[in-house]
Amino acid sequence: MKKLNKLNLKNKLLLNGVLPLKAPLTSEIIAGLILAAVGIPEVMGYAEIAGMPIITGIYTILLPLAVFALFCSSRHLIVGADSATAAILSGTLVSVAALGSPQYIALASTVALLCAILLIFASIFKLGFIADFMSRTVLIGFLSGVGIQITVSQLSHMLGIAGEGGLNTIPQLINVFTHLHEINLITTIISIIVVFTIIIINRISPKIPGALIAFGGTALASFLFNFQGIGIPVLGNIPGGFPNFIVPTIDPNVLSNLIIATAACFVVILSQSTATSRAFTIQYSESNDENKDIFALGLANGVAGIMGTFVVNGSPTKTAVVDNAGSRTQMASFVTAAAVLMVILFFTKPLSFLPSATLASIVFLIGANMIDISHLKDIRRKVRAEYFLAIITTATVVIMGVLWGILLSIILSVILHLSNSYRPTNSIFARDKKGNWMFKQVEVGESTEEGLIIYRFNRDLYFANSDKLKEEVLKLVDAADPPVKLFVLNTAGFSRVDYTSAEMFKDLYHDLKKRNIQFALTSMLPDLKDQFDYLGLTRLIGEENIYENVLEALEAYGKKKY
């Protein structure tokens, strides 16, 4: 019986992607250690961005990482602290609590717990599609704005200037320029060395942990030359040991800030995690259960919340790191978690010698990497209108802050979606120059044949655009010469109708009837046909005037006389 239980456990781990199907265990161990080497400095930087104690950043790649690996279906996705969600936390919670204060930590942990609830709810009710409503264009603009915020916020620390708190970009820049005479030369040199070390090592090979080398080198120099004693700021004491588990309470007075932070983090977690997971699934021609991954993200955030740290997210950079290192399963995550456990139990003392300028430089580079110039150029080249939306979002984040940037991102994404569905590019079935039948873009005055128009509305039909359909149809039939005898609506572009659309169909039927034009339908999906039956539209139009496809409608027109 014990043997059978062990076998069942092994099979479960194989299915979950924890154990490799073809046991390259050495690659998994190496990849896990590389992730720990790259990830520890990175998540310390994210903790700085989030306004949380440094150790809480390290906690995000301990239990949350292991819990996700155990319950997910993806073989590749790695979770941990993330720059975007970290910036959202500091941008939304700083107005109600001081960064790093006990109240602030409790609020950040509460956001993680609330995100956990939303993610688990989303997985149960298969709501992962919500992520698709955050336009990629607007998201690029938002993240680029956050990147600018982060880079500017670290300049004063890199130069040794007394800086202002938070991520207020304009005050930060003013502060730097008005205090240039206070630059600390040694701090500035450390920052330059760290930045160039990481950039050069990453150019040589992304597999080499440049941040860890800069991290270890400057910490060793700080220890040997007593940086703190000569006035160079260092991180100081970092408490080690396993985190305490506690469930934070929700303060009703800050509920609005919590809701905004949670909603924003939830959308970013869904968008970024799903996109990253899909990319690697496609790359390896695999399949995975997105709802199961969302459930695992919920559990990971729940663990993060009760251990006093902040939200975790599917990370493109961490996932790429372990993939480049040869990992093909979640075993690497467990190796990383084990390595991180050793660090927090036995090696937090060396971290205390790290110059603040080193961490600021790492955070600076994280921010710089978020400024997505290449994709912004690509958007400008291909869809200029969307480029301006991205730039407006970036400018809003930089000038007005993350909170307004989040709200604008959501609003612009919805507007972009509504704009696309409100003004569809509709088609008429007609012959091309070679005489072949095809759907062509609508041109007023064009017909399918003399007396016949077969028209397709190429978007979902709903209350906002139903009148557009009616207006265009009437414009087409009124401009036709000779007059239209049969108008056929191809319904393949939409699958359902709402009440407003149903009433519009009744009006359109009567308007066409006044013009002595027969109204017909074609290419109806079963669900749409059921709706038309229930709403009485089938009876109004006539069952005999509903054709299976456009060719049948075309043939029927040739046989009938209208």
| pLDDT tops 70 at residue 164 | no
Task: Name the range with the highest mean pLDDT among 2-6, 105-109, 147-151, 178-182.
Answer: 105-109
Pair (125, 212) in one structural domain: yes
Q: Is 395 exposed, middle or buried (0-12, 13-18, 19+ CB in 10 A)?
A: middle
- SS3 string, 48-115, reads HHHCCCHHHHHHCCCHHHHHHHHHCCCCCCCEECCHHHHHHHHHHHCCCCCCCCHHHHHHHHHHHHHH
> What is the pTM for the complete model shown?
0.74
Amino acid at 484: V
Pair (328, 435) in one structural domain: no
Asked if residue 389 is part of any domain, the answer here is yes
Listed residue (502, 515, 509, 516) closest to 542, CA to CA: 509
CA 443, CA 462: separation in Å to the nearest integer? Answer: 23
Asked if residue 2 is part of any domain, the answer here is no
CA 121, CA 65: separation in Å to the nearest integer? Answer: 20
Amino acid at 225: F
Pair (60, 33) in one structural domain: yes
Domain extent at residue 306: 7-418
Q: Is the dihedral of CA 34, 152, 404, 258 positive or negative?
A: positive
276-312: pLDDT as tens digits? 887 788 778 787 888 999 999 999 999 999 999 999 9
CA 276, CA 48: separation in Å to the nearest integer? Answer: 24
CA 135, CA 215: separation in Å to the nearest integer? Answer: 36
Last residue of one domain, picked from the residues 363, 385, 418: 418
Asked if residue 1 is part of any domain, the answer here is no
| β-sheet bridge partners, residue 151 | none
370-406: pLDDT as tens digits? 898 998 999 899 888 888 888 998 998 888 887 787 7
Pair (396, 463) in one structural domain: no
Pair (403, 444) in one structural domain: no
The first and second tokens of residue 121, run together, are 């709810």
- Give pLDDT, residue 543: 94
